């Protein structure tokens, strides 16, 4: 007889929250304030014309590109293939909030919107859009149904502070929130233990897949998780 899962782990971005639509909505609203003259600062007419021409689909594409910050991870957050690695220099961890800020600056230029947002307060409001993501309409209800069967946790590579903010904003009521903490590490052993105990018939191959995809489970942690569940890994 198949064993019932002991816990339920949820990816967050795209699975629980509709991040692209939420960001596009916030970006479009912020741009509209500038266009309608309800925001401070003087903006070049060419930039205003460019902003006026942006459709909602354009803002969704902006949002999608905003989430793709690999260009900064590859150049700054990992050792280079040659000199740095040979010299034994550690990778530089960049907080996700900083990656969002850098990518926002880059995209504003790429979308020819330089000067549309001119104050630090405006930039801060744009960055805070990540904390204002809306959940899918049925997310909270679905999580509540799973919570009746066992613990339900968020497991994401996003920062814990951001995940906690989204949990509170959308009334998701996760039992636990696991994500990136300062220094770039994840809540590792607890997350691996719970995932292993919660899985039904998980194989070594699935664990390898988890390790590649999430980067959260080291070999020792996987073995410890299996031991706590009474299983050999």
Block mean pLDDT (10 aa), the chain, length 233:
82 95 98 79 86 97 89 53 52 80 94 93 96 96 93 88 96 90 51 43 38 39 42 44
* Domain stops at, among 107, 132, 157: 132
Q: What is the pLDDT of residue 226?
A: 43
Residues 194, 224 share a domain: yes
Distance separating alpha carbons of residues 219 and 204, to the nearest angstrom = 11
Q: What is the pLDDT of residue 33?
A: 92
Q: What is the pLDDT of residue 167?
A: 97
Residues 170, 112 share a domain: no
Report yes or no on 1 lying in a domain. no
Distance separating alpha carbons of residues 48 and 35, to the nearest angstrom = 6
Report yes or no on 2 lying in a domain. no
* Domain stops at, among 108, 132, 156: 132
Residues 23, 128 share a domain: yes
Q: What is the pLDDT of residue 37?
A: 81
Residues 178, 107 share a domain: no
Residues 126, 167 share a domain: no
Report yes or no on 233 lying in a domain. no
Residues 187, 154 share a domain: yes
Residues 140, 115 share a domain: no
Q: What is the pLDDT of residue 206?
A: 40
Residues 126, 158 share a domain: no
Structural domains in the chain (count): 2
Report yes or no on 195 lying in a domain. yes
Residues 142, 77 share a domain: no
Residues 181-194 as b/e (b if ≥16 CB within 10 A, e otherwise) read eeeeebbbbebbbb
Residues 38, 123 share a domain: yes
Report yes or no on 87 lying in a domain. yes
Report yes or no on 34 lying in a domain. yes
19 closest CA partner among 213, 180, 165, 181: 165
Beta bridge partners of 9: 153
Q: 140: domain range?
A: 8-15+136-228
Residues 110, 98 share a domain: yes
Distance separating alpha carbons of residues 214 and 203, to the nearest angstrom = 17
* Domain stops at, among 90, 106, 132: 132
8 Å CB contact between 188 and 160 = no
Report yes or no on 53 lying in a domain. yes
Report yes or no on 143 lying in a domain. yes
The pTM of the full predicted model, rounded to 2 decimals, is 0.74
Residues 92, 79 share a domain: yes
């Amino acid at each position: 007889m198949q064993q019932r899962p002991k816990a339920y782990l949820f990816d967050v971005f795209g699975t629980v929250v509709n991040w692209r639509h939420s960001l596009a909505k916030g970006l479009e609203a912020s741009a509209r304030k500038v266009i309608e003259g309800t925001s401070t600062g003087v903006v070049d007419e060419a930039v205003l014309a460019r902003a006026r021409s942006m459709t909602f689909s354009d803002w969704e594409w902006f949002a999608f590109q905003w989430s793709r910050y690999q260009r900064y991870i590859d150049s700054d957050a990992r050792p280079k293939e040659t000199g740095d690695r040979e010299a034994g220099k550690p990778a530089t961890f960049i907080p996700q909030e900083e990656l969002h800020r850098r990518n926002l600056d880059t995209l504003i230029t790429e979308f020819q919107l330089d000067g549309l947002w001119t104050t630090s307060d405006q930039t801060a409001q744009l960055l805070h859009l990540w904390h204002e993501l809306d959940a899918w309409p049925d997310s909270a209800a679905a999580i509540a149904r799973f919570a009746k069967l066992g613990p339900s946790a968020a497991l994401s590579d996003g920062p814990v502070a951001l995940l906690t903010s989204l949990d509170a904003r959308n009334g998701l009521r996760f039992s636990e929130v696991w994500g990136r903490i300062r220094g770039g590490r994840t809540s590792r052993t607890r997350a691996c233990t719970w995932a292993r105990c919660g899985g039904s018939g998980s194989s070594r191959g699935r664990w390898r897949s988890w390790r590649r995809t999430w980067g959260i489970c080291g070999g020792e942690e996987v073995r410890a998780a299996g031991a706590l569940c009474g299983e050999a890994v």
